[in-house]
Amino acid sequence: MPGGNISAVVLAAGEGKRFRSRLPKVLHEVAGRPLLGHVLAALSSLDLEATVVVASRRVEEVAAAMQARGFDGLTYAVQDPPRGTADAVRVGLAGVPAGTERVLVVSGDCPLLQSSTLLSLLELPQRNALLTAVVDDPSGYGRVLRDERGTVARIVEDGDARGAEREVREINAGVYLLEVDPLAAALERVGDANVQGELYLTDAIGELAAMGVDIAAVRADPEEVAGVNDRVQLAAAGAILRRRTCTRWMERGVTIVDPATTHIDPTVTLEPDVTVLPFTFLEGATTVGSGAVIGPQVRLVDTTVGAAASVTFAVAVSSDIGPEASVGPFASLRAGTVLARGARLGTFVESKATTLGEGSKANHLAYLGDATVGRGVNIGAGTITCNWDGRSKHPTVIEDRVYVGSDTMLVAPVHLGEGAATGAGSVVVRDVPPGSLAVGVPARMLPGRGNRMDPQAHPAGGGAMGDTEKEGPGDGDVSRGGDAQTAE
């Protein structure tokens, strides 16, 4: 790394008034990460001595959010109250390691900045530099004013710019590489006699220039320097970030039919020859294997998809879809669903904490919760694992080559031995030995003993006993149906 000992100072303590939000601005999410996370990701590939994040009094919230995204090894400095960007840098300088020669100052609200652009600053022959861009509409940004020789003389903020200054289209990107000692001296001289009554870092640039420090101006792509000050700009930045991610994957051999409606988080991994169809959301730690076809209208969160699998019109969270497996249309795979090679979860099937062995199928209309299903099993339409008794969850085990007839209620805990079968409409309350056929409905009526979970659910003598679609409190699991188990 040229230029010796460099640390980053990331300004993230602003109140973000224009967001009108209770959440700190830099924690607002865009394209799969908080704003600040994008900036830290761009910094992470640079060879920096330290990264100091200047945060407000809500530093713990900010630090926890970054830690949760895997951004660690950071130093946090607290600026309270936020009195302007010059004050923020002063606070940040107190946090850089002794011996730091220069600081790379970036704003936490510039998620479009790329490592390569930051690197270009570090590789300059000059010791001091700032990033600028020439834009069509400079409103909202500080204007870079140059002297007659063309060197940077000062920056005037949008609100303070007058007359011809307003027409200057070269704007300050808010990214600076500066020598620590002159910077500290310049910061001392900054006052708050301006429209916002704040201590502007941009005034320190003017002070440095007046001190005779030569500040190089590097022009960047205007798209890259856009700051995010409100939610309209947040959405605009999101569109650019998503397009960039799609472009990167297409360059690496992924077919993306409609990048405009494809949302791929920066944390996702795709193999070559994946096809992503429109309106698809790939989030978190999702990975997709070669030859898989995902979409249209799929949302995968922290989910692994094996090679040559297909997933269409479906949602999967924290699940593992094996190679050649097939999901959807209209399937919901909740956390802990594991489909082995060639398994299939079809239309209107919901699963949770359930493993489906190789080649097993639940083609239509089923709920599989806390179930371990072996290989070559056929789960008929309308099958439900009644895994919830109002107090706890119970497992269902279905061994290899079982045939579960349509509309079977499997009242858990229950075990279906290898090669067993159930008749259509059966309510299975006892284990089925290997090779046996379970048929019939053991249910009988027990008056007055309906849904005892809810005291208001007792119309005269009735109640909801045996209502297998009644959801357990707060968790969406399917009820085992009151006394169905003890009714035998």
Task: Output the six-digit token pair for 446.
Answer: 């027990």
Give dist(CA 377, CA 398) in Å, integer: 8
Q: Which is nearer to ligand UD1, 54 or 282 (CB)?
A: 54
Residue with smaller CB distance to ligand UD1, 141 or 388: 141
Residues in contact with ligand UD1 by CB under 6 A are 11-14, 54, 79, 82-85, 87-88, 107-109, 141-142, 155, 157, 171-174, 200-202, 227, 229
CB of 113 to ligand UD1, least distance (A): 10
- Placement of tokens 């239509």 in the chain: 364
Q: What is the 3-state secondary structure (H, E, C) of 30-82?
A: ECCEEHHHHHHHHHHCCCCCCEEEEECCCHHHHHHHHHHCCCCCCEEEECCCC
For 388-418, letters b (16+ CB in 10 Å) and e give bbeeebbbbbbbbbbbbbbbbbbbbbbbbbe
Taking the complex as a whole, how short is the minimal distance between the CB of residue 92 and ligand UD1, in angstroms?
8
Q: In the complex, which residues of this chain contact Ca ion (CB under 5 A)?
A: 109, 227, 229
Task: Please say which residue, 140 or 434, places its beta carbon nearer to ligand UD1.
Answer: 140
Which residue number is nearest to Ca ion in terms of Cβ?
Answer: 227
Instruction: Pick between residue 237 and residue 276 the one whose CB is nearest to ligand UD1.
Output: 237
Instruction: Give me the least distance between CB of 103 and ligand UD1, in Å please.
Output: 14
Q: Which does 369 bind (CB under 5 to 8 A by kind): ligand UD1, Ca ion, none?
A: none
Task: Give the closest residue to 190 by CA, choosing from 210, 172, 171, 176.
Answer: 210
Instruction: Supply the minimum distance, in Å, between the C-beta of residue 19 and Ca ion.
Output: 11
Question: In the structure encoding, which two tokens stand for residue 325, read together?
Answer: 């497996």
Helix (H, G, I), strand (E, B) or coil at 462: coil
What is the residue whose two structure tokens read 């700051």?
Answer: 227
Q: Which does 82 bind (CB under 5 to 8 A by kind): Ca ion, ligand UD1, none?
A: ligand UD1
Phi, psi of 42 (to 5 degrees): -65, -35
Residue from 10, 6, 169 nearest 76 by CA: 10
Residues 311 and 329: beta-carbon distance below 8 Å: no
Q: Which does 141 bind (CB under 5 to 8 A by kind): ligand UD1, Ca ion, none?
A: ligand UD1
Q: Shortest approach of ligand UD1 to residue 164 CB, angstroms?
A: 18
Is-cis flag, bond preceding 138, omega within 30?
no
What is the Cα gyration radius of the chain?
Answer: 30
User: From the list Ca ion, ligand UD1, none, which binds 83 (C-beta under 5 to 8 Å, kind-based)?
Assistant: ligand UD1
Q: Which residues are catalytic?
A: 364
Q: Which does 84 bind (CB under 5 to 8 A by kind): ligand UD1, Ca ion, none?
A: ligand UD1
CB nearer to ligand UD1: give 120 or 436. Answer: 120
Minimum distance from CB of 171 to ligand UD1 (Å)? 5
Q: Which of Ca ion, ligand UD1, none sits in contact with 13, Cβ below 5 to 8 A by type? A: ligand UD1
* Contact partner, 157, from Ca ion, ligand UD1, none, Cβ < 5-8 Å per class: ligand UD1
What one-character-per-residue DSSP string does 331-377 give?
A: EEE-TT-EE-TT-EEEEEEEEES-EE-TT-EEEEEEEEESEEE-TT-
* Residue number, nearest CB to ligand UD1: 142
Of 109 and 207, the one with the shorter C-beta distance to Ca ion is 109
**Residue with Cβ nearer ligand UD1 (186 or 421):** 186
Residues counted in the chain? 488
Contact 219, 210 (CB under 8 A): no
The Cα 308–Cα 326 span in angstroms is 9
